[in-house]
Chain A
Amino acid sequence: MTAGAILTVEHVTMRFGGLLAVNDLSFIAREREITALIGPNGAGKTTVFNCITGFYKPTVGRLRLVHPGGASFLLERLPEFRIAREARVARTFQNVRLFAGMTLLENLLVAQHNALMAASGYTVLGLLGSRGYARAEAEAIDKARYWLDRIGLAGRADDAAGALPYGAQRRLEIVRAMCTDPVLLCLDEPAAGLNNRESAELNEFLHAIRNEHAISILLIEHDMGVVMEISDRIVVLDYGEKIADGTPRAVRDDPKVIAAYLGVADAEVETVEAEVAR
């Protein structure tokens, strides 16, 4: 096992009937690094994400998560809610999934459900109005307030999440994931639909939380500007297969990646393929 690896993906294959969505994919996400998963549309990025977070079970392969403390989890064997609760992998969704009818504060409290549930004595003590629960709830609210401050939405804490502008909803979804105290944060296209200024802010924010909260980040992204600037390491997928893996600079110059992204004229296919074969 590689030292410092937080997530080791080994030979993961995902088949949907006859469709091979991910084919024998292996890569490593290192501790406290930002790893990006990129690739053209339909390359299987989100499928990989769903395998990591337990929403899909890979047909073949192993996904091992190792906490900085040493605890190790085989993600392909856990149901999704235990991956979030015990393996502490948090995720966001490509099309934002907030609890639209609940306030920002409530959204962040739901994220702390398991801790609060234990504090409320699995509801019994809470129903009787125990002091311990009141304290735990106050702490949870403080934590929520901290995160709302971080994304500049503290003033809107009591508004419904569904009433926020899109960019703010994206940020809220990220901090909601952070409220679960993850070791690995998986972001599915966090910059989608953001303008340039907003994605610059997002970059800064992701760097900040990575540094301050000692977490590792795995992200899917289309916006190459964001990816190149933010990632420590990039994994490129095309048609469910890994075609490149390395630092942003190395990946950017990789002809395979260029071909996958920009496409090549028919006449050049052979030259590119020859080049690739070399």
Chain B
Amino acid sequence: MKEAAIAALIAFGLFVLLIGFRTDPGPTGALVLSTRFGVLAAVVAAVFLGALARALVLQQFAGPIERMVPVSLKAALSRMAPYATAAFIAFAIFVPIIFYNNRYLLDLGIVTATYAMLGFGLNIVVGLAGLLNLGYAAFYAIGAYSYALIALTFGLSFWICLPLGGVLAALTGVFLGFPVLRLRGDYLAIVTLGFGEIIRLVLLNWQNLTGGPNGISGIPRPSFFGLPFNATDHGFAATFGLAYSPTHRVVFLYYLILALALLTSWVTLRLRRLPIGRAWEALREDEIACRALGIDTTTTKLTAFAIGAMFGGFAGAFFATRQGFISPESFTFTESAFVLAIVVLGGMGSQLGVAVAAAVMLGGFEFFREFEQYRMLVFGAAMVAVMIYRPRGLIATRKPSVFLREQKIVPAAIVGEARTGTPA
């Protein structure tokens, strides 16, 4: 009761100016102050009742919210996890067949897969190695611009430019990594944030090379192993005896990004079982202990940074070829934050979690498109709810990379975030 009253009071303080008063253009054109105390009262009352209801529900169950889920259901869910992955991939593969005529959904699928791929890439850096990176969009941008510039200047094909974009992004990752990886935690986050902005500003101002704010247009579209997607006799449709349809290219792009995303995921899973992957996780758990065991933490961090950047670069190259036009606007901090949100909400280190988070966030965004005004509100509320009830993300448990007899899932509470400090 008391808590509910406090919550209501806070809500009142917050909203009294936001909702209670409103300025409208009056009949003479001057602003007129109008009051909306009725709405304000409704909002405050809603907060009060909500807090009261929450307190009552919590009282019923007495204990952390986790316990409200019955044990049997939890066990069933964890048994389902491997099938869920398979089902998710299978669904992803069949999307273009089921929704062949729904261009909108196909595009959404492509965007989702792109973000899932970015999420997987960032997951290596943030989820496994525990290095908070707020400038991931920079690598995405470098991949995209590398692809666009190389493809336009040298006329090389998609399949040559794609790896080049990734390699260039990885190299940038290494260059950035050298000076900054001795920083930890928040400091590293700030520097990477700055780096992301620097890259964007360079792209914006280096008119001769990048076209500045006008961006680069006319980026070559990908071909089906040399067969362009067009209506000519040499096109994809004609060669395979199909009627030309622009959907062919969309479907091809969809499968391309899906393959790239799955490749990223596969490589990550594989790396986790190798010494380098275990060293990344050990680094996240305790850096000082790592050094005491003879692990060169600088190189280890650099590889994490470079590999994460490389996948970001691949995704960027794909983005460039899909859009056909890129400009610095596509690589703002919002982009980095969005990908980071996917990783954090999905559960750091979990592939399935990231994929689900990407699908839910982008799907949710689209779903709420009609309620334009409330979209951000719902999005924010969802974020807050996840952070309260699942602070380590949707799937926060950790699967050991190797086992003697039986693979036991490590509960989320034990999985450490990067610890800092000097040896004691």
Contacts and interface: CB of A to CB of B under 8 A. Distances in A.
Contacts of B290: 81, 110
A154 B405 CA distance: 10
Given A94-B424, A97-B289, A99-B282, A109 B414 contact: no
A123 B274 contact: yes
Contacts of A99: 281-282, 285-286, 289, 416
Contact of B414 (A101, A116, A154): A101
Contacts of A102: 278, 281-282, 285, 398, 400, 410
A157 interface: yes
Given A81-B297, A93-B423, A103-B408, A141 B289 contact: no
A104 B401 CA distance: 11
A93 B282 contact: no
Given A81-B296, A84-B293, A110 B404 contact: no
Interface string B383-424: 000000000000000101111111110110011100000111
Interface in B261-303: 267, 270-271, 274-276, 278-279, 281-282, 285-286, 288-297, 303
Interface residues of A, number: 49
A270 to B, nearest CB: 37
Interface string A140-158: 0100010000000010011
A159 interface: yes
Given A50-B423, A97-B288, A103 B400 contact: yes
B423 A105 contact: no
A120 interface: yes
Nearest to B415: A101
A110 B401 CA distance: 11
Nearest to A129: B270
Nearest to A173: B289
Interface string A29-53: 0000000000000000010001001
A258 interface: no
12 contacts: A46-B423, A81-B295, A109-B402, A110-B279, A113-B275, A113-B279, A113-B295, A117-B279, A126-B274, A141-B404, A145-B404, A160-B411
> Considering the complex of A and B, which 4 residue pairs feature the smallest CB-CB distances, nearest first?
A84-B294, A101-B415, A85-B294, A99-B285
Interface of B: 267, 270-271, 274-276, 278-279, 281-282, 285-286, 288-297, 303, 398, 400-408, 410-411, 414-416, 422-424
Given A105-B404, A180-B294, 12 more contacts: A84-B291, A93-B288, A98-B286, A99-B285, A100-B286, A110-B279, A114-B295, A117-B276, A123-B303, A127-B271, A133-B274, A163-B414
